[in-house]
A and B are shown apart, each in its own frame.
Chain A
Amino acid sequence: MTDRLTSLREAIEAVLPNVDGVLALRIGPGGISASHLFSKEHPEDLAKLALWPKEPVPDTLKIILRAHPDAKLAIVCRGCEERGIVEMFKHAQLNLDNVTLIGLQCEQAEAEFCRCAKPFTVHSKTTVGQSIKGVPDPVTEKIAAMSQPERLAFWKQEFEHCIKCYGCRTICPQCFCNVCTLEDEKWVETGRLPMANPSMYHLIRAMHMTAKCVACRECEETCPADIPLAVQFRLMARDVKELFNYEAGAVMDQKPPQLLVLEEGDYERSGLPH
């Protein structure tokens, strides 16, 4: 059987002539990998193709597409990244007409690292690797099993360590607002560390990720304080599934429950100015 890296390389080589670039990972100095746009002009770059650690590629795809709205691109995406791209599409952040998805299936060790329920893609027409079943998330289960006062105490203690780097917000592919509430003095005080606890920062982000979080765990991975951030969003996702029968990124034409589509016409903004 061909290994995943070789199969992925072959899949990229197959689409490369027909697109303006393929977004995937490349090994850089010191063996540190990062996102890279492979192009037909530089096929030799593919010798440095990498698989892991994953990167927040949906956000990078958005950055490239915003500058080049008519570009034809392909992207190598894992299950969570594919879900991220689908949610961004549903929220009008990117146009999928010219995007080819190459689904990379995750291996057992990767799924365990991510405590991932869905380590596979479902929309990509081209796929690489064998898809495996999801694995349990003991961290989420442990916190879910706590009593309400225990949970409050747990999160208060965790948030005490937050250094307010804004990394969890900045890296999140689903945090794409042009004006972010977390940078509004009304909600999150600037120049104060540690922040008030429990802080509006974490509560607002938890609410804003409702039906949007795709469980990629990028926020948790980048947190310098090692706060198990993804747990909040995974617990929210359970409620969203139960209440609205909605799973982020799962069904392409299912409307997210929090999206309101207005009739065409003139509207006046009311309420608090942003």
Chain B
Amino acid sequence: MIEYENVLTTCPYCGTGCALHLQVLDQKLVGVLPAKNHVISEGGLCIKGWNVHAFVNHPDRLKKPLIRKNGKLEEATWDEALKLVADKLGEIKAQSGPDSIAFLSSAKCTNEENYLLQKFARAVIGTNNIDHCARL
């Protein structure tokens, strides 16, 4: 049986929220089409949106955390990676104070994730140094 359908989703690249259709043929992602009657993107996309299907199964895509050990990036578990980040943040905060740390959030994340990061910066670390990638 041949299966072809379009799956409606939101472009993951920036905060605009353009809608797009992932073209799925026999359960495989083969392309992108814009969503014509969507209120935000009105059938248009930028070059990144037109190409979102390309990264999903790309061999270069990171699927596991990497930790630099002896100058080389090596695959690690999430527990190991998160522990390392927490330890280092704690160490730097203890040595140099909370305002020696800054957080940069991303337009690729959801509102909720961005909220969480600023909450983490302010409530856990204790700094107002929070900004986002659009100002980089």
Q: Which residues of A line the B interface, CB within 8 A?
A: 20-21, 23, 26, 28-37, 39, 41, 53, 55-56, 60, 63-64, 67-68, 71, 163-167, 170-171, 221-224
Contacts across chains A and B counted by CB atoms under 8 Å: 89
Q: Which residues of B line the A interface, CB within 8 A?
A: 1-6, 8, 19, 21, 23, 25-26, 30-31, 33-38, 43-47, 49-50
Q: Which residues of A contact B44 (CB under 8 A)?
A: 165, 167, 222-224
Least CB distance from B10 to A in Å reads: 11
**Residue in contact with B33 in the complex, picked from A21, A56, A68, CB distance below 8 Å:** A56
In addition to A60-B23, A224-B45, 19 A-B residue pairs with Cβ atoms within 8 Å of each other are A20-B1, A21-B4, A32-B8, A33-B37, A36-B4, A41-B1, A56-B33, A63-B25, A64-B4, A67-B2, A68-B2, A163-B46, A163-B47, A164-B47, A165-B45, A170-B50, A171-B33, A222-B45, A224-B46
Q: Chain A interface secondary structure, helix, strand, loop or mixed?
A: mixed
Q: Which residues of B contact A55 (CB under 8 A)?
A: 33, 36
Cα A166 to Cα B54 in complex, Å, equals 15
Cα A222 to Cα B3 in complex, Å, equals 26
Q: Which of B1, B19, B36 counts the most chain A CB atoms within 10 A?
A: B36
Known: A167-B50, A222-B43, A224-B46. A67 touches B8 (CB 8 A): no
A30 touches B2 (CB 8 A): no
